[in-house]
């Protein structure tokens, strides 16, 4: 797609900063913490309303506990390729109910603040306007699918099957997580496993009959020490027991203890390696009479660069340079849905969204002056990809 069609797309996007900012404000001011299904779906409804008004149909895949997955699709321009391109983003945030009332969307010049303004409601806005732009001017060289998921912040337990099914066979995925504070995109991410395990012991009076008890807390303490020895900063594998609870009273030998653990790794091989070690630790009983079981497990897969991903990156960076932006790639220890798409074999570029920072904090911000340029960079890359 060269010449007039993409020129019209880029020119139209140039005129949309105010409209993009208005939609961003609307989305940020809609409470959508992951566990607030009605709020996450309300954000989705606002996006659907915008797309439908532009003549783009949407459909939902329902989820029982978390936000539904919303899909929008436009056909390729006449003579275009069959393989689709995915524009991806999540609607949920990490913030509890009431956060919007305390600190709603605000602007200070070219910088906007508010819960989820960077991570990643600005990316949702950007993808929505890219879809509208191509639809308005006859389509892209590929069918475009925009996917808006609802539970990324907890590892996409309901969104992952939809993400993987949508990505399989696609030409490329552009995941609109926020651009780095440097302006860079992300070309590699760690994978992550989040698991919760519990240990049961035997309760007894800690003063009168301590010998009859078996402490779940003591067993847990020994396992925590072993788990933390798996961290290796040189290889990038980290294991962190971040949450711990146990016991019933100060004068009772603890009958129960639970822990929640964050595990990070750079490759699938590392994931398998660290999980074998974790399983050995969990299976090893130090105090007879205790039992250990994993009760919950979620996580992300690592984003790794294939040759095809490198090609997409090169096309994106070249086009961005023509638009006046200097963008490079960098590695992130954080995880994202882009790992799922990369691991099904689809070329993936992450953090193509508007530039922002302070994610998950009261200082989260988005640079409004990057809304249009970053949208144009993705649009230009789409227009230049080979079938």
- For the stretch 23-70, pLDDT in tens is 999 999 999 999 999 999 999 999 999 999 999 999 999 999 999 999
Domains and CATH numbers, the chain: 4-189+302-384 (3.40.630.10), 191-300 (3.30.70.360)
Q: How confident is the model at residue 387, as a pLDDT?
A: 76
* Phi, psi (degrees; rounded to nearest 5) at 153: -65, -15
User: What is the C-alpha separation between 253 and 258, in angstroms, rounded?
Assistant: 15
326 is written with which tokens?
């200097």
List, in order, residues 6 or more apart from 258 with CB less than 8 Å away.
196, 197, 198, 199, 244, 245, 246, 295
CA distances from 72 to 54, 84, 127, 131, 367 (A): 12, 12, 11, 9, 26
Question: What are the residue ranges in the chain where pLDDT is below 70?
Answer: 1-3
Model confidence pLDDT, tens digit, residues 280-316: 999 999 999 999 999 999 999 999 999 999 999 999 9
Tell me the whole-structure pTM to 2 decimals.
0.93
Q: How confident is the model at residue 5, as a pLDDT?
A: 86
Which stretch of DSSP H or E encloses residue 242? strand 238-246
């Amino acid at each position: 797609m060269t010449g007039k069609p993409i020129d019209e797309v880029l020119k139209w996007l140039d005129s949309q900063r105010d409209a993009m900012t208005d939609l961003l404000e609307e989305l940020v001011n809609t409470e959508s913490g992951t566990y607030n299904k009605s709020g996450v779906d309300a954000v989705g409804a606002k996006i659907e309303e915008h797309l439908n008004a532009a003549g783009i149909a949407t459909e939902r895949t329902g989820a029982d506990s978390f936000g539904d997955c919303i899909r929008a699709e436009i056909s390729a321009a006449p003579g275009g390729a069959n393989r689709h391109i995915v524009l991806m983003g999540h609607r949920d945030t990490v913030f509890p109910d009431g956060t919007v009332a305390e600190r709603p969307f605000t602007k200070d010049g070219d910088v906007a603040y508010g819960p989820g303004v960077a991570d990643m409601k600005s990316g949702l806005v950007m993808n929505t306007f890219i879809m509208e732009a191509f639809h308005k001017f006859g389509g892209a060289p590929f069918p475009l699918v925009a996917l808006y998921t609802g539970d990324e912040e907890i590892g996409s337990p309901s969104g992952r099957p939809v993400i993987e099914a949508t990505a399989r066979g696609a030409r490329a995925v552009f995941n609109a997580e926020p651009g780095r504070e440097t302006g860079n995109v992300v070309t590699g991410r760690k994978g992550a496993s989040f698991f919760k395990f519990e240990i049961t012991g035997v309760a007894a009076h800690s003063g009168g009959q301590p010998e009859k008890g078996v402490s779940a807390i003591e067993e847990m303490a020994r396992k925590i020490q072993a788990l933390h020895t798996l961290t290796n900063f040189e290889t990038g594998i980290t294991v962190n027991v971040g949450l711990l609870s146990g016991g019933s009273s100060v004068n009772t030998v603890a009958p129960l203890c639970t822990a929640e653990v964050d595990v990070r790794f750079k490759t699938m091989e590392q994931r398998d390696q660290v999980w074998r070690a974790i399983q050995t630790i969990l299976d090893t009983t130090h105090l007879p009479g205790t039992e250990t079981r994993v009760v919950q497990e979620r996580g992300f897969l690592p984003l790794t660069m294939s040759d095809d991903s490198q090609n997409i990156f090169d096309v994106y960076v070249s086009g961005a340079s023509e638009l006046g932006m200097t963008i490079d790639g960098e590695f992130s220890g954080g995880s994202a849905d882009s790992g799922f798409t990369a691991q099904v074999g689809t070329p993936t570029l992450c953090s193509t969204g508007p530039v922002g920072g302070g994610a998950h904090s009261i200082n989260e911000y988005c640079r409004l002056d990057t809304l249009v340029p970053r949208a144009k960079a993705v649009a230009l890359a789409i227009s230049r990809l080979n079938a």
